[in-house]
Structure 1
Amino acid sequence: MKLYTFFRSGTSHRLRIALNLKGLSYDQVAVDLRREEHLAQAFKAIHPQQFVPVLDTEDRLMIQSPAIIEWLEERHRDPPLLPSDAAERAQVRALAAIVGCDIHPVNNRRILEALRHRFAADEAAINDWCGTWIGAGFDAIEALLASDRRRGDFCFGNHPTLADVYLVPQVESARRFKVDMARWPRVQAVDAACGQLDAFRQAAPAAQPDAG
């Protein structure tokens, strides 16, 4: 498989984690967002929204990280990223959705570029904007983790799930935007536990060929 990716993209990061957890090999094609390579017509032919990531399975081009990760879960079931119980699956999906639906969409590059160029936001304002929504989401995740008496080292149980796949890239993003993580000890503990696993370490932005 071929993965069109950018080292610092949170959605690319989460997909790299999922692929690694599934033990799947893939070649990376770097799309440098800093040089606006995603806006070129050649990339638009690959993804009409001009976003990363894109997964080329040889059979088809797959877009949107939630859809791709769902496909991975259906196609490559072992190890599972979702529990077998329906209520527990909903719990894990809810944790992932706090990141995927509520934090990331208002902090992605497209939004931040609009704030910079259309509303003259400086980097302090950008960090404050991002910190506001990251903080609101992490407050909720921290509370949910605290209320789960059965929780192990990860967001749910003793093995990484979809929730961890989403959370870790958002923690990376929080640090990049200078968010003080001190008030979320459980979130930090989950991030640390994930950081012990090769699947997460190898997916980290700094470990990518296009990092720099």
Structure 2
Amino acid sequence: MKLYGYWRSGAAYRLRIAFGLKGLDWEDMPVNLLAGDQQSEAFRSLNPIGLVPVLELDDGAALSQSLAILDWLDRSHPEPPLFPENPVARARVMAAGMTIAVDTHPLQNVGVVKHLKSAYGVDQQGGVDWMIHWMDRGFAAFQKMCEPNAPFAFGEEPSFADICLIPQLYNAHRWEMDLSSYPRLTEIEARCLALPAFEAARPENRPDAA
């Protein structure tokens, strides 16, 4: 499998964590978003919208959208599972993860912040304030949604919810966000980053890190 991604992409980070948890090997295919590699004809033949990640399977099939790829991954490589079996518990884990991956992350990707600057004259600090505003909203909701006393967000093992949370916390640290209001989240983060799958997936450990 070939994973096309950018070292700081939160969406690609999710997949690296999941691959590690499931013990799968993949080949890194770096895409430099800042240089505009994602706009090339070759990349857009894999994903017409020009976003990372893209997972190219051994048979040549190309999958896009990190949440769709995580769903494929859990169905094709079910152990260890990313979701609980109980349908209600599964929905709760998915809702928490999507609060970060769907309601929070898209508002602060490279393209959105770049557009704020070019179209509306927002300066660098304004862009950071924008990102922190939406992370505050997402983290506050996630902290209320996850289980209060479990080692991870929803139980004894990391799940889809943790996979979505950790890359967003990386972004929060990058922009020096005050996380003192989210002790449950930083507790989950510490437990996750103690696991080899999470440690290996960290952006600074990628070959294209700069």
TM-score by length of 2: 0.97
1:94 matched residue in structure 2: 95
State the match for 1:201 in structure 2.
Answer: 199
Q: Secondary structure at the match of 1:4?
A: strand
Sequence identity percentage: 37
Q: How far is the alpha carbon of 1:191 from its aligned partner?
A: 0.5
Question: Offset of 1:20 from its aligned partner?
Answer: 1.0
Q: Which residue of 1 aligns with 2:19?
A: 19
SS in 2 for 1:202: helix
**Which segment is superposed worse, 20-29 or 34-43?**
34-43
**Contact preservation (8 Å) 2:152, 2:192:** yes
Q: CA deviation at 1:63?
A: 0.5
Residues 91-170 of structure 1: matches in 2 within 5 Å?
Answer: 91-145=92-146, 148=147, 151-170=149-168
Who is 2:178 aligned against? 180
Runs of 4+ in 1 over 2 A off after TM superposition: none
Count of paired positions: 209
SS of residue in 2 equivalent to 1:35: coil
Q: Distance in 1 between matches of 2:113 and 2:65?
A: 19
Q: In structure 1, give the amino acid aligned to 2:27.
A: D
Question: Are the equivalent residues in 2 in contact too, given 1:127–1:178 (CA < 8 A)?
Answer: no
What TM-score results when the alignment is normalised by the length of structure 1?
Answer: 0.96
Does 2:153 align with 1:189?
Answer: no
Q: Please give the secondary structure, in 2, of the residue aligned with 1:38.
A: helix
After superposition, the C-alpha distances for 1:132-182 in whole angstroms (9 at most, x for unaligned) are 11001111111223xx35x42100111000000000000001111221111
Tell me the residue number matched to 1:52: 52
Q: Give the whole-Å Cα distance in 2 for the aligned partners of 1:112 and 1:209.
A: 25
SS of the residue 1:102 aligns to: coil
The answer as to whether partners of 2:38 and 2:51 remain within 8 angstroms in 1 is yes
Q: Retained in 2: the 8 A contact 1:16–1:203?
A: yes
Calculate the aligned-residue CA RMSD, in Å: 1.0
